Structure 1
Amino acid sequence: MSDKASGEGIGQPVRRKEDFRFITGNGHYTDDINRTGQTWACFLRSPHAHARIRSIDTSAAEAAPGVVAVFTGKHVADDELGGLICGWTVTSKDGTPMKVGAHPILALDTVRYVGDHVAMVVAETLADARAAAELIDVDYEALSAAVALSTCQNEKTAQVHPEAPRNTCFEWELGNKAETEAAFARADRVVKLDLTNNRLIPNAMEPRAAIGEFDKGSGIYTLHTTSQNPHVARLVLSAFVGVAPEHKLRVIAPDVGGGFGSKIFIYAEETACVWAAAKVGRPIKWTGDRSEAFLSDAHGRDHLSHAELALDSEGKFLGLRVKTIANLGAYLSTFSAAVPTYLYGTLLSGQYDLPAIHVEVDGVYTHTAPVDAYRGAGRPEATYLVERMVETAAREIGMDPAELRRRNYIRTFPHQTPVIMNYDAGDYEASLDAAMKAIDYAGFPARKSEAASRG
């Protein structure tokens, strides 16, 4: 029997197998798990984008009903735990390594974004933990904050990390600058575009959650967490944070409840829960609420770009140059340095035969929530920029956008782009034809005229 007849093989739809248990209420999420002797955690978060912590008085919280323990950044520092890390190193165009600011699990002397982790209360119930967190007295000295990408690199703007002057983590480039400048020098037309790719906040079905446990007899830590990659979590928590040796740490990820990137990073909450479980001698559970998720889940995108496209008299693309300022937020998240560089700059050729490309990306710190990978991670940002550039060029030169695309598609494979990628196959014209047929592109002028006649 042929693949087509059997319903199996290349080109055939793959039926989903996991839905039945979810739609019948038999999913198994982190929040569904409860352990014997379990306590609950609540995190006190900064109300300031930037402030110095003069003092923290936890005495009232510690004396509150049901409270088991209260932890601050000093407790973490006293245990000599490492901070959260970025797992991707980027080198600036001058050859210097990126400038990394410390990312403590609980803030020590400074908070750097609204939602930054200041203290953790562990109590018998979630209500007890929340009530006690409100009793913690933090003396903040509010400071000016760097929040706008357009001004964050100014000398007089507030500094996020002393290690990064002008709030600049790296100044990265890709492509051949000389060849690109030569392409622009011989161009008949140059089209320019300033573009903002807005910050977005992920909103998973299940908010992040964690349960940390410690078995005193074996010395083994166990972390149940909403993770898209428990192997990375185990590696980071053991090798870099230093919670426990890798053979003494289990990380278990049940049903994740949605993520699109936001649950692949290592966060302060699960780190603190598994570390503190040994301190209190009982399991610690934390489930974030929607407001917490909006404040502290890693955000996505947030680029400010200037792009220029060089064309000849026939509308053929000669070169593209791009300068992007990419917001990294207050701290580097697990993969954040990779997203606006190797996952973005390498895709700026799109499906077009662009002989020369040069891109510069400044990764900058601001007093905002950390920014990392979301739903495609860098690739949507690159595609959005390239396609907006093509649309703008079509309007400026008076050519049908479909025709301009068709004129510049890659047609021979393999195809080496100027920005690392080598394409092995593709038929972009067939995709364009199918899309134009599906939307009745040829009939659009008539529909537009008919709509205009009705006002």
Structure 2
Amino acid sequence: MSDIGGPYVGRALLRREDRRLLTGRGQFIADLVLPRMLHVVLVRSPLAHARIRDVDLSRARAAPGVAIALNGADLLQMLPPVPEGQISLPRKWTTVIQHKFLNPSQPLLAHDKVRHVGEAIAIVAAETREQAEDAAELVAWDLEELPPVLDPEAALRPDSPIVHDRFDTNLIGDFRVTRGDPDGAMARAPHRLKRRFYHHRYAAVPMECRGVVSAYDARTDSATIWSSTQVVHWVRREAAALLGLPEARVRCIALDVGGGFGGKGHVYPEDLLVTFLAHRLGRPVRWIEDRREHLMSATHSRDQWHDVEVGFDDDGHIRAIRDDYLVDCGAWNPIGSGVAYNTAVHLTGPYKIENLAASGRIAVTTKTPNAPYRGAGRPEAAFAMERTIDLVA
């Protein structure tokens, strides 16, 4: 029999990176040191929901070693608004999903309201990390506290505070997936069962938190970004747009990323803020996230409520299934509708179920933003479906 596998398929291959990592010769973002590098610290909101009256940087700007300190109002004068970044619905899904979607555009620094604890309201760059931290403590903020929105179901009530005033609603996504005749099949089923399932919110905890180093070369009018990211091409695209450069003049490099799990799977404001400061100041700039920042400001995931009804006969054959589910996306929705859509179209998993009605809603709340982790909406669907199968059995 001929060997169709060649030198790779079906063969055990030695990993090429192990020796370097196991002998301590890996390189992570915090290991990268460039000449004349500035260090960034972000000032973050202690409140979940508040209107920004003032962010006073006068004392911070006068502190030793400070190169620049900016708030959201300053950035509005320097940069165009960040474009809305909804990932479009895959073409193959458009025939099965009826949808409407609103996408709030997250600013690089909050300037009108803060919408979750840990949202950045100011940025300080200084000669050392210690000087930047000392200066950040001198920033004086005046925040008018507003009622927080912590429950997605309460967020959809008419009397709920509105998270994003421009929409006059906290419902930013609403869609349906229908197959067969779910209502008729459910009515004819000998047995019916209803249950509510909750897939809880959680936070990824990689060994290496997020981090960004950026340098601008005025001679070639080009930028280089080193980021602990899973999406180097997205970072390059957004940074090029921000700087007004062609993508060919922006390079994004991921070193030895110390874990991601989806939490580093999109472009964060910090990626662009550091790149902007490096371009403006003409010096390399570095930001390294600490663990407290990570748990407050890096995206969380899951957080779905599922109300499932299933119709089945005496032998356990499922005649119809209905799932009305609600996604708490937090204050922002950085990956658009991808998670909720994945849940809808993967609900039935490996099972042959001819009659399906799935309806999904996405609510904004004043929590840390929600984004895809491993599975990206599929584990939530599998959890609801497998619990249902167990109950039918």
Instruction: Give me the TM-score of the superposition, normalised by structure 1.
Output: 0.81
Which among 131, 136, 142 is matched to residue 139 of structure 1?
142
- Structure 2 counterpart SS, 1:385: helix
Instruction: Assess, with a 3 A threshold, how the Cα gap between structure 1 residues 174 and 6 changes in structure 2: closer, same or farther.
Output: closer
Which among 120, 124, 146 is matched to residue 123 of structure 2?
120
Instruction: Assess, with a 3 A threshold, how the Cα gap between structure 1 residues 15 and 336 changes in structure 2: closer, same or farther.
Output: farther
Task: Give per-residue Cα distances to partners, 1:328-373, cap 9 Å, x unaligned.
Answer: 111121x2411111x2111111121111111111011111111011
Question: 1-side partners of 2:79 and 2:100: how far apart?
Answer: 25
Question: 2-side partners of 1:291 and 1:84: how far apart?
Answer: 29
- On the 8 A contact 1:200/1:299 being kept in 2, the answer is yes
- Structure 1 counterpart SS, 2:153: coil
Which among 98, 102, 105 is matched to residue 108 of structure 2?
105
1:103 maps to a residue whose letter is Q
Which among 158, 163, 166 is matched to residue 160 of structure 1?
163
Task: Give per-residue Cα distances to partners, 1:378-400, cap 9 Å, x unaligned.
Answer: 11111111001111222xxxxxx
Question: 2-side partners of 1:253 and 1:320: how far apart?
Answer: 44
1:193 maps to a residue whose letter is R
Deviation at 1:144, TM superposition (A): 0.5
- On the 8 A contact 1:84/1:104 being kept in 2, the answer is no
- On the 8 A contact 2:152/2:364 being kept in 1, the answer is no
Question: 2-side partners of 1:144 and 1:89: how far apart?
Answer: 33
Task: Give per-residue Cα distances to partners, 1:301-321, cap 9 Å, x unaligned.
Answer: 010110111101221011111
Question: 1-side partners of 2:318 and 2:299: how far apart?
Answer: 36
Deviation at 1:216, TM superposition (A): 1.7
Q: Percent identity?
A: 31
Task: Give per-residue Cα distances to partners, 1:17-58, cap 9 Å, x unaligned.
Answer: 322211111111121111110010000000010101101110
- 2:191 corresponds to which residue? 189
- Structure 2 counterpart SS, 1:344: helix
- Structure 1 counterpart SS, 2:192: strand
Deviation at 1:14, TM superposition (A): 4.9
- 2:325 corresponds to which residue? 324
1:310 maps to a residue whose letter is G
- 1:199 corresponds to which residue? 201
Instruction: Assess, with a 3 A threshold, how the Cα gap between structure 1 residues 23 and 4 changes in structure 2: closer, same or farther.
Output: farther
Deviation at 1:4, TM superposition (A): 12
Question: 2-side partners of 1:2 and 1:247: how far apart?
Answer: 44
Instruction: Assess, with a 3 A threshold, how the Cα gap between structure 1 residues 307 and 48 changes in structure 2: closer, same or farther.
Output: same
Deviation at 1:72, TM superposition (A): 1.2
Task: Give per-residue Cα distances to partners, 1:169-212, cap 9 Å, x unaligned.
Answer: 11111123x61111101101111110111001011111000012
- On the 8 A contact 2:263/2:298 being kept in 1, the answer is yes
Question: 2-side partners of 1:137 and 1:9: how far apart?
Answer: 61
- The answer to whether 1:59 aligns with 2:90 is no
- 1:404 corresponds to which residue? none
> Where in structure 2 are the equivalents of 1:246-261 lying within 5 Å?
246-261=247-262
Aligned pair count reads 388
Rg larger for: 1
2:380 maps to a residue whose letter is E
Instruction: Assess, with a 3 A threshold, how the Cα gap between structure 1 residues 3 and 32 changes in structure 2: closer, same or farther.
Output: farther
- Unaligned regions of 5+ residues in structure 2, if any? none
Question: 2-side partners of 1:257 and 1:50: how far apart?
Answer: 32
- On the 8 A contact 1:225/1:251 being kept in 2, the answer is yes
Question: 2-side partners of 1:53 and 1:122: how far apart?
Answer: 22
Instruction: Assess, with a 3 A threshold, how the Cα gap between structure 1 residues 245 and 108 changes in structure 2: closer, same or farther.
Output: farther
- On the 8 A contact 1:330/1:369 being kept in 2, the answer is yes
Question: 2-side partners of 1:283 and 1:307: how far apart?
Answer: 53
Deviation at 1:75, TM superposition (A): 2.4
- 2:280 corresponds to which residue? 279
> 73-82 or 378-387, which moves further after superposition?
73-82
> Where in structure 2 are the equivalents of 1:19-418 lying within 5 Å?
19-83=18-82, 85-89=84-88, 97-176=100-179, 179-239=181-241, 241-242=242-243, 244-333=245-334, 335-341=335-341, 343-394=342-393
Instruction: Assess, with a 3 A threshold, how the Cα gap between structure 1 residues 200 and 3 changes in structure 2: closer, same or farther.
Output: farther
1:318 maps to a residue whose letter is R
Question: 1-side partners of 2:9 and 2:72: how far apart?
Answer: 55
- On the 8 A contact 1:123/1:129 being kept in 2, the answer is yes
1:196 maps to a residue whose letter is Y
1:42 maps to a residue whose letter is V
Question: 1-side partners of 2:15 and 2:346: how far apart?
Answer: 31
Work out which structure has the larger RCO, using CA pairs closer than 8 Å and 6 or more positions apart in sequence: 2
Instruction: Assess, with a 3 A threshold, how the Cα gap between structure 1 residues 328 and 367 changes in structure 2: closer, same or farther.
Output: same
- On the 8 A contact 1:84/1:267 being kept in 2, the answer is no
Question: 2-side partners of 1:214 and 1:161: how far apart?
Answer: 35
1:37 maps to a residue whose letter is R
Question: 2-side partners of 1:315 and 1:94: how far apart?
Answer: 28
Question: 1-side partners of 2:2 and 2:22: how far apart?
Answer: 34
- Unaligned regions of 5+ residues in structure 1, if any? 395-455
Task: Give per-residue Cα distances to partners, 1:62-90, cap 9 Å, x unaligned.
Answer: 11111111011122211233326433146
Question: 2-side partners of 1:175 and 1:373: how far apart?
Answer: 24
Deviation at 1:150, TM superposition (A): 2.4
Instruction: Give me the TM-score of the superposition, normalised by structure 2.
Output: 0.93
- Structure 1 counterpart SS, 2:215: strand
Question: 2-side partners of 1:2 and 1:369: how far apart?
Answer: 55
- On the 8 A contact 1:336/1:373 being kept in 2, the answer is no
- On the 8 A contact 1:311/1:319 being kept in 2, the answer is yes
- On the 8 A contact 1:198/1:301 being kept in 2, the answer is yes
- Structure 1 counterpart SS, 2:55: strand
RMSD: 2.2
Instruction: Assess, with a 3 A threshold, how the Cα gap between structure 1 residues 382 and 227 changes in structure 2: closer, same or farther.
Output: same
